[in-house]
Structure 1
Amino acid sequence: MSEELLVPFLYDYMLRAMGISALVGAVAGLLSCYVVLKGWSLMGDALSHAVVPGVVLAWLGGIPFAIGAFASGMLAAAAMAGLRGRTPLREDVVIGVVFTSFFGAGLFLLSIFPSNVRLQTILFGNVLGIADGDILQMAIISVLVALTLAVKGRDLMLSLFDPVQLAAVGGSPAAMRLLLLTLLAATAVAGLQAVGAVLVIGMLVTPGATAYLLTDRFGRMAAIATTIGATTGLLGAYGSYFLDGSTGGVIVVSQAVFFLVVLISAPRHGVLATRRAARRALSA
């Protein structure tokens, strides 16, 4: 029985899948802390869907998918920013209009330009079958995002909680907003082939939401979210071998299970702890 559990480690494609899933999961988990604190869950969803037309256009132009996907994501972000500043519409309405428009455009392009870009791969990912070149792209993007957060993480935090203080020390809240959008688009591109455009939002939100329930300190929150992202990425890819299911689906479901367990049992913010506190308040 123990030998059967080691079988996935005998295949190079499984080792690559587990490694890149853990790396992308860790970076997405770290970034998810900023997404959760900023309240940008819907923005992450929008950018993950907006990269679809860029993938198709990149194939048509013969350029790397990552370039087209990133350009499409940034164009969507610019469109959302432009509409938000020039219309009385609420931000969630603008985001909904833009991301559905981009996603619809991607599906339309796929329908009129038959290609080897499979819709299922774009939507749900295929980390088990990606080429070494694509793995290298995902790794480079993940490392660059992590390094950027290491260098600019403090300024990003100030932009979230005290933009006035950031401006006072010479920083730019607008530049930090653009930087966070750029990192979101880049991470969505990295996660596209791992879990797909539909599920990448889970990697960009769930680890941070889980960590938020466990601690009130950002440093610990970042460490917990990064660990959850890496662990679920690794275990999801590993478990998909035995379950014979979608790797991306297993990864995101694993993160959802972590979240549900923490939601119920977190020592301060969990459902059980909240009920105990309510009972003590009533009996006092």
Structure 2
Amino acid sequence: MMWQPPGHVPGVHAPGTTVPIPWIIEQQMLAARAQQAAAAAARAEEFRAAAEAMAAEGVLCGEPSCGARAVGRCSRCGQGFCASHNSVDRTTGDLAFWARPELCGSCQDGDIAAEEQRQREARAEAVARLHRARQAEQEHADRVTRNEARTNPAYVRRRSDWLDARISTSFRARTVSDTRAGVAVASLVAVPVLVLVLVGWLASGDQLAAVAIVCLALPLLWWLGWALYTLHRSRRQLRRAEFVEERRRLRLRLGCGAADCERCYA
């Protein structure tokens, strides 16, 4: 909670002070008026200096059938203008234009007309974009209706949800490369062959065969287990890929059917 000085009344005094809020607002309004008055005085001084310069040069207004003494020279067209043909403070709709000592009334009218035309074109373009967006939305809705009319949306959604659950929860094993899967398949062939060789060696009555079987039993079992586990992971990986592909095909049966549609498959 902010500390408040003694005598502070909430809602009456400014936070952290005993200064009345209406007095602060009044001071801000007075400061704004003073700034406006200073700006107006500066502009009046600019107009007065421009009029004195034109009077010293003896420039006349460039408007046809006028001929009055010029009070300024336009930086756009380069012609002098009198007090009747200079730029003025104008407000057109939400546009505000201010008088300037280096701008004549004709050029200001051109600026106003150009800005109004630009705003009309911008509004027309906005309306056209809105119309195109609504038309595209309606066309997309029609495509969705036609595509889903050929399918069973309820079944497709149930099957797609089931596939999502299976993919997200049942297949978290690391990816098995094709090389590792090939080694596992070869191991399933090599381990039984090696076991048969050892059994045949043992049947020959050689004492070293028994020692070899005892020493190689655990490594062979581990090798066989690794091969079976790797093949199991590879099979699960292939199954997951099948589920992903089936889910992709099912999703195309919903919505508009376009694989790159951002509305349906964002």
Please confirm whether the aligned pair reaches a TM-score higher than 0.5, indicating the same fold: no
- More RCO (CA 8 Å, sep 6+): 1
